Amino acid sequence: MLRGSLQAKDFLVAESASMRAVVTLLGEYAADGAPVVICGEHGTGRELVARVLHQKGPRGRAKFVAVRPSFEDVPTARPVDDACARARLALDAARGGTLLVKDLSDLSASSQRTLKKAVRDEIDVHLVGTGDLDLDKAVDAAILAPDFYELFREHRIEVPPLRDRLDDLPILFERWVKHYAAEIGRAKPTVSTRALVRLAEYPWPGNVAELKAIARRLVVRVTRARIEAGDVDEILPTVAARVPLEDLAFEDMVKAKLAGLLARIDGYPAHDLYEKVLARVERPLFDLVLAHTGGNQLKAAEILGLNRNTLRKKLADLGVTAKRKGREDRALDEA
């Protein structure tokens, strides 16, 4: 939660081109009053964008009500079992302001009909929804009714993942560090350039929500006046660097596979690992060489530097069948 003196717009950073495009759409859609859908990965700040949309429009001083698709979080004087009735209560609660429905794909068919009717009856509510990027597929799968999604289609905002808006990361991080430092009553620590570099190198699978959590943990853990790269290294999850296969040396590929194998069998009894690993390497090697020689074991043994009888025995032990190409196969290959 933000302190009373702060607003959602204080955390909508748009140094990146992709976020500047979001801000442009916010300006266009805020005064329109038509339903808006805000799409993106979880943790990208879809609700934050919805709140800014509300604040920018003519309803900015009215109520902003955010609810889940079940509408069970709508405050009522007594329990209401029917989802449609709860949806109507949510619309009443947001009358004159904005109703944000999170994750449109989880709405029941009856709730979709209730909201669609409210829009068509011009109820005094600005309806905003959030969703994943593949809402069109939800329509194809009959999860979202086409006529319901049609209400939102023309006013769609896509919030980019944090990994695609790294120009915004330094300011976002500084603002959240300042926010959490103020919450616990301490001076805001500065952040070293190397610490920001470390943050930019991380892929951020949890997006801005994960960045907020990291900022909070650093403010609590680091009592010094400066957050350094080592502080970031201590709490960022370890992520294996993704290297293109063609850029890896053969030994590095084998090591990477073996490291994963050893991690999986840690704590379990293991034996004959040497033989099992050799078998896993030999089998595809023999398969490929035999395919290369058209099933000719004599040529395969020569390429491998093995005695033909040794190769034959290994093939039998590994269950590798040497399929020699017939005349017709060779003719097709040469065609």
pLDDT for the residue 321:
66
For the stretch 130-170, pLDDT in tens is: 999 889 999 999 999 999 999 999 999 999 999 999 999 99
CB contact set of 266 (below 8 Å; sequence gap of 6+): none
The burial of 318, by beta-carbon neighbours within 10 Å (0-12 exposed, 13-18 middle, 19 or more buried), is given as middle
pLDDT for 249 beyond 90:
no
Q: Using CA atoms, how far apart are residues 161 and 209, in angstroms rounded to an integer? A: 11
Asked if 50 contacts 130 with a C-beta cutoff of 8 angstroms, the reply is yes
How many other C-beta atoms are found inside a 10 Å radius of the C-beta of residue 208? 26
Closest Cα partner for 132 from 5, 266, 228, 37?
37
pLDDT for the residue 23:
95
Mean pLDDT of the residues in the chain? 85
For the stretch 191-203, pLDDT in tens is: 999 999 999 999 9
- 248 pLDDT band, cuts 50/70/90, is low
pLDDT for the residue 278:
80
Query: pLDDT: is 56 or 269 the higher one?
Result: 56
pLDDT for the residue 91:
94
pLDDT for the residue 77:
63
The residue assigned the tokens 């003196």 is 5
- 333 pLDDT band, cuts 50/70/90, is very low
CB contact set of 190 (below 8 Å; sequence gap of 6+): 225, 226, 227
Q: Using CA atoms, how far apart are residues 162 and 167, in angstroms rounded to an integer? A: 9
Q: Using CA atoms, how far apart are residues 316 and 218, in angstroms rounded to an integer? A: 59
pLDDT for the residue 334:
41
pLDDT for 6 beyond 70:
no
pLDDT for 64 beyond 70:
yes
Does this model's pTM top 0.75? My answer is no
pLDDT for 81 beyond 60:
yes
What are the chain's domains?
8-160 (3.40.50.300), 164-235 (1.10.8.60), 245-334 (1.10.10.60)
pLDDT for the residue 133:
85
pLDDT for 117 beyond 70:
yes
Q: Using CA atoms, how far apart are residues 55 and 33, in angstroms rounded to an integer? A: 13
Q: Using CA atoms, how far apart are residues 6 and 2, in angstroms rounded to an integer? A: 6
Segment 262-267 mean pLDDT: 59
Q: Which of 120-124, 150-154, 308-312 has the lowest mean pLDDT?
A: 308-312
Degrees to nearest 5, angle at CA 57 with 53 and 59? 110
